[in-house]
Amino acid sequence: MTSMIGVDLGTTYCKLARLAATGRPEDIANDLGFSSTPTAVLFTGAGEVIFGQEAFNAAILEPKGFVAGWKREIGNPQWRFRAPDGKEHSAGDLMTLALSRLLAYAEQRIGERVTHVVLSIPANYRDEQRREMLAAGRAAGVTVISLIHEPTAAALAYAMEKKPGRKVLIYDLGGGTFDATLLQVEADRVEVLATEGIARCGGNDLLAALEGHCLDLFEREHGYRPTPEQHPAFCQDLRLACERGKLALSSRQETTISAGLNGKALIAKVSRDAFESLARPIIAPTIATCASVLKAGGARWADVDVVLVGGASRTPLVKAIIQQASGKPPLADVDPDHAVARGNAIEAALRLKELGEATTADGVEVLPPSVAKIDVCAHDLGCFAINQRTGRLQCAVIIPRNTPIPTERSDVFGLLEPGQTIANVVVVQGEEGAVPEACHVIGEVTLPLQPNGPAERRVKVAYRYDPDGIVHVVAEDTHSKKQATIDLATNGAGSAAS
């Protein structure tokens, strides 16, 4: 028997869920009894590491040791947070710390050791971000049996609550990212038709806009603008006050945001209309993304039910612009805060069932729902090649975006010159024909070639997306059959094999 849970490691909040003995997902509370835990860490001057709500509450006391929002930096090797003791932490380190604490909460609540987890990720995560999330799971001591796109997880939760035979557009606006995903929901399957996202668009951006507005008011009244470097306690206090104000404006027409610095007070009355004027430039691009997804999936606004996911989707402006675009209000049948974690719990049971393992809850074997999940890749995947007509180096797509995964495809390329002794395959995410500057390099593999080979020999490049959206590459000399491989699930460097 295997104990497993679904984990939603959000930019702003984390949630846990498992499949109960009834076969339905249930939330798992943290050490304080809440079903949501702030994704925040505080490194104290005394060397203590505090996570969650307590870190959030104590942030104003030691603002230089407080860190949140690091999910946006997953996959960024240059990003580091320097703790008060001088030690630097990568985003992956912080994610491991958060996951370890969450696992401890879960084990305390369910009375069993958690051995397997499903982690949800934004659909637009690139390969290196997916790899860092897998590494965080391994470092926390659990088996990550699946990485699932957050909108797809939400659709699994939706499928348990609604009648089948519907097209659903998941509008997922979280703390840090936005994803739009079109799905077909049937009684026996949840099939992703198209997906697209915006990497930096979410509640944190709405919060930053409100903070900037308040700092403008402070500067106008007092003649200078406080900065986090010079006034960390004030800026942390203002951020917390703006977070409270942002939440208040979801249900009220006006709120007051206040903070003080060296006897100088900031008292800002902010109306919902004023906040929405700040928020509109951030939220408006999400509708264009939705329209692009609908077009890619062959659907219209009139064909779909729109389901809101993510805490930032509670913003009244979101509901208003969706209704304006679609002609009907979004559905309110799924809890936007917990749908992803609950879908993760369903996915965990489904994946373990595929592996022939049973899952338990409270000592009872859990029978997962009989539903299949069909996801897609979120990016075009190709390699650099010379366009024979223009002589220009550009991206040649091998697996187009929105191809169902897992999948494997290949293409054959000629060599640049006779007698060439190596072929360097640069693996990229980018659109067909895109110049190198517009592409994202995720790895490369070097294939040794036999000298003095035939002039007509070619290099076959085979790409495989696994169920987690991780890329695997094989390059083969079609003459000698010699191969070089790259497994981007573990590293970014290739290896040659005879």
Beta partners for residue 4, in sequence order:
116
pLDDT at 361: 64
The encoded tokens of residue 448 equal 């040794």
* pLDDT tens-digit readout, 270-324: 999 999 999 999 999 999 999 999 999 999 999 999 999 999 999 999 999 999 9
Mean pLDDT across 427-435: 95
Helices then strands, each counted (H, E), the chain: 9, 30
| pLDDT surpassing 50 at residue 342 | yes
* pLDDT tens-digit readout, 120-135: 999 999 999 999 999 9
* pLDDT tens-digit readout, 216-267: 999 999 999 999 999 999 999 999 999 999 999 999 999 999 999 999 999 9
Sign of CA dihedral 66, 71, 73, 74: positive
Q: How confident is the model at residue 359 (pLDDT cuts 50, 70, 90)?
A: low
Selection from 204, 198, 408, 349 nearest residue 288 by Cα: 198
Mean pLDDT across 401-407: 95
> If 0-12 CB within 10 Å is exposed, 13-18 middle and 19+ buried, where does residue 176 land?
buried
Q: How confident is the model at residue 364 (pLDDT cuts 50, 70, 90)?
A: low
pLDDT at 497: 47
Mean pLDDT across 396-408: 96
pLDDT at 358: 64
Radius of gyration of the chain (CA): 24
Q: Is the peptide bond before 63 cis (omega within 30 degrees of 0)?
A: no
The fold of 1-153+335-369 is: Nucleotidyltransferase; domain 5 (3.30.420)
Q: Which residues contact 337 (CB under 8 A, 6 or more apart)?
A: 13, 15, 36, 310, 311
Mean pLDDT across 146-152: 94
| pLDDT surpassing 90 at residue 410 | yes
User: Each residue of 209-245: b (16+ CB within 10 Å) or e?
Assistant: bbbebbbebbeeeeeeebeeeebbbbbbbbbebbbeb
Q: What does pLDDT average to over the chain?
A: 91
Best CATH choice for the domain 203-276 from the list 3.40.50.2000, 3.40.50.300, 1.10.10.10, 3.90.640.10 = 3.90.640.10
Q: How confident is the model at residue 486 (pLDDT cuts 50, 70, 90)?
A: confident
Mean pLDDT across 479-492: 74
pLDDT at 362: 65
pLDDT at 65: 95
pLDDT at 433: 95
Q: What residues does each domain of the chain span?
A: 1-153+335-369, 203-276, 377-497
pLDDT at 366: 65
Q: What is the percent of the chain with per-residue pLDDT over 70, rounded to a whole number? A: 95
pLDDT at 66: 95
Q: How many CB atoms lie within 10 A of CB 415?
A: 17
| pLDDT surpassing 80 at residue 363 | no
* pLDDT tens-digit readout, 52-82: 999 988 998 899 999 999 999 999 999 999 9
Sign of CA dihedral 292, 295, 299, 300: positive
The fold of 377-497 is: Substrate Binding Domain Of DNAk; Chain A, domain 1 (2.60.34)
Query: How far from chain centre, in Å, is Cα 131?
Result: 12
Q: How many CB atoms lie within 10 A of CB 46?
A: 9
Q: State how far the Cα of 435 lies from the Cα of 25, in Å rounded to an integer.
A: 46
Domains 1-153+335-369 and 377-497 share a fold: no
Assess contact for 406 and 467: CB atoms under 8 A: yes
pLDDT at 20: 84
pLDDT at 2: 62
Mean pLDDT across 37-49: 95
Mean pLDDT across 465-483: 92
Treating both helix axes as pointing N-terminal to C-terminal, what angle do 316-326 and 272-296 enclose, rounded to 10 degrees?
40
Q: How confident is the model at residue 491 (pLDDT cuts 50, 70, 90)?
A: very low
pTM for the structure as a whole: 0.90
